[in-house]
Structures are given as structure tokens and as C-alpha cells.
Amino acid sequence: MMDRACAVLRRAVSVLRIKAVRRADRTKDAPHDCNCLRAAAMIWADELAMRSGMSVRICVPHPRGVQVIHHVFRPDNSPQRLTIGEVLPPDSAPAQALGVAYDGRCVFVPEPDLRGAELATVIACPESPDRAAALSVTGPADLLDLALVASDRYRHLLIDTASSISVSLTADAPTRT
């Protein structure tokens, strides 16, 4: 009887420890206050999701990869999961985009199922380069693959949206131009 009680207590402690680690991941070394970035990007991210038909995420650097600070669902009303606060690994498209110097390039990363993919670029912030962020769209791999002509439309949408967000940040107002 005592062994069973000990096993139950150990399991409960283990579950609590895992939950604490996940909570710490979300808050430990959290990025600086990103409210200005989020405010400047909301309108543009919504429009990008509507025009591309894909989900849109904005991520900022995190010690273990990148952290999602804004997420817009695909406009098709399909079942989706909110990822705000999650830390994406260093091999994700947003993390790789932030790892290269900003020059208007996009990073393409296929998902493990090979049907989906993520395309990301950098939102440059001229006033404070340390607050650069990644803007990404997630959708069908055959539409986002940089090697395909069909992906040009999505690459231009992504880069145009990133530059519009940068202009909004520079103007210090989340307005559309």
C-alpha cells in the first residue's frame, strides 16, 4: 500500500515539474516588451493571412530559438491551435530567418509531413536593430517552396508585409499606408 502511495506521489511531482518547466520556457528570458511591434503588426498580419489564405506568425528571438508573440489563424475556419508564447526550435523558419543578416530574403522550411511548410522573413526595425522579428506564413509546401514559380506571389506578399510593418514601427504608429 505504501509503495503505491509513493508511486502516485512521484508521478504527481513529475507532472508538476514538467508543467513548471513548460511555464518557465514561456517566461524565462522573455523578450523585451513587444507591444509596439505587436500593435504595428496586427493589421498587416491579419491582411497577410486574408490575402495568402495561410496562417501568419510573428516571432522574436529567444535563447532557445524564437518565441511566437502574435499568431493569426488561416481564414478557412479549419481546426487550428493558438501558438502564442510557444518557443520554436532553432531549425524553424523564423529562427533561421533571424539568423541571417536582413537583406529581404525568405527562408523556406518544409514540415516533417512534407505537405506543409513555413516561409519566413525578417521585420527590420531601424530604430532598434536588437528588436528585429520574424514574420512567417505556414501553408502547403507546393505553394511556398522557393524553387517553384508559384511561390513568387507568396514571397512578395511576405516581403511587402514585412516592409510595411517596419514602416509602421519607424513611424511609431500602427497605421496603414
Using alpha carbons only, what angle is made at residue 97 by residues 129 and 127, rounded to the nearest 5 degrees? 15
**150 vs 52: CA distance, rounded Å:** 12
* Residue-wise DSSP of 115-138: SEEEEEEEE--TT-GGG-EEEEEE
Cβ atoms of 96 and 132 closer than 8 Å: no
Quote the pLDDT of residue 48.
92
The tens place of each residue's pLDDT in the chain, 177 residues long, gives 567 766 767 776 676 676 666 665 555 544 455 777 887 788 899 999 999 999 999 988 888 888 888 889 888 877 778 888 888 888 889 988 888 766 678 888 988 877 889 999 998 876 566 678 899 999 888 888 888 887 888 899 999 998 888 888 776 555 554
What are the cell numbers at 48? 497577410
What are the cell numbers at 89? 526550435
Rg (CA), the chain: 19
Give, in order, the Cα–Cα distances in Å from 76 to each of 45, 51, 72, 111, 127.
16, 12, 12, 20, 36
Residues facing residue 70 across a β-bridge: 58
Type and span of the H or E element at 67: strand 65-72
Residue 136 φ then ψ, to 5°: -140, 155
